[in-house]
């Protein structure tokens, strides 16, 4: 099967009623980045950060995958699909996608605040219990923190994502402004001759001037059109 790699951003989940961090009504308009998404913010007030992510998880529990998520999952019938997402929600997985690389972490997971990369301290929260209690500890005795890549932290799965894009036979970009690095730079790993599709209702400046086939639409309508074009392609 042809290898399809899809990079998704906040616009992928917008139709699911899950607040995006950027854009109109985005969370960054209500909460300063420095306060809730940096190691320094955590050190200054872990209780505030914990409460912020508890609220975000409750919102995610109430959200549902939209038709765009479902259509991407359905493409696995005809393509070898890898989803690389900047989103921290689990909507791709809930829609049925089986190969998802989360660049910025996963909202429903928590970890050690001493060593976030220690898998012995990872824990997956549930829809029935999405909150972390104030002062709750990881297995190593440190405070539990969100398993999120905060500003100023390394992106541990970037190399995995780059390898996936290097092997792509089709590359699609959905619902991302391509302003957030290093994720925006992944387009440069797409092989020469690999067709690139861009799905977004707004104008997006593609870095490096790479030629792209633009589908000016929301995620649900855009993925439907992408699926149609891919299935018609030789």
Q: What residues are annotated to the active site?
A: 104
Beta bridge partners of 173: 7, 198
Token match 């951003």: residue? 9
For residue 108, give the 3-state DSSP assignment. strand
Query: How far does CA 179 lie from the centroid of its chain?
Result: 14
Nearest to 20 by CA among 83, 77, 91: 91
Give the helix/strand (H/E) hosting 216.
Answer: none
Q: What one-character DSSP code corresponds to residue 45?
A: -
Rounded CA separation 100/130 (Å) = 21
For the chain, what is the radius of gyration of the CA atoms? 18
Cβ-proximal residues to 221 (8 Å cutoff; 6+ apart), any chain? none
Token match 């998802």: residue? 100
């Amino acid at each position: 099967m042809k290898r399809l790699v899809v990079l998704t951003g906040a616009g992928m989940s917008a139709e699911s009623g899950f607040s995006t961090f950027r854009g109109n009504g985005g969370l960054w308009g209500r909460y300063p980045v420095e306060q809730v998404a940096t190691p320094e913010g955590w050190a200054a007030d872990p209780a505030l950060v914990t409460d912020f992510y508890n609220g975000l998880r409750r919102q995610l529990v109430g959200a549902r995958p939209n038709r765009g998520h479902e259509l991407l999952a359905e493409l696995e019938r005809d393509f070898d699909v890898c989803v690389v997402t900047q989103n921290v929600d689990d909507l791709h997985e809930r829609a049925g996608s089986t190969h998802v690389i989360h660049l910025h972490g996963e909202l429903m997971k928590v970890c050690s605040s001493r060593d976030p990369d220690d898998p012995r301290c990872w824990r997956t929260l549930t829809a029935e219990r999405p909150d972390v209690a104030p002062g709750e500890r990881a297995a190593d005795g440190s405070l539990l923190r969100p398993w999120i890549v905060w500003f100023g932290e390394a992106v541990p799965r970037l190399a995995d994502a780059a390898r996936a894009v290097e092997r792509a036979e089709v590359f699609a970009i959905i619902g991302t402004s391509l302003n957030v690095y290093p994720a925006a730079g992944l387009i440069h790993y797409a092989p020469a001759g690999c067709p690139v599709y861009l799905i977004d209702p707004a104008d997006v400046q593609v870095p490096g001037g790479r030629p792209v086939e633009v589908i000016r639409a929301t995620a649900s309508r855009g993925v439907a059109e992408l699926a149609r074009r891919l299935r018609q392609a030789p």
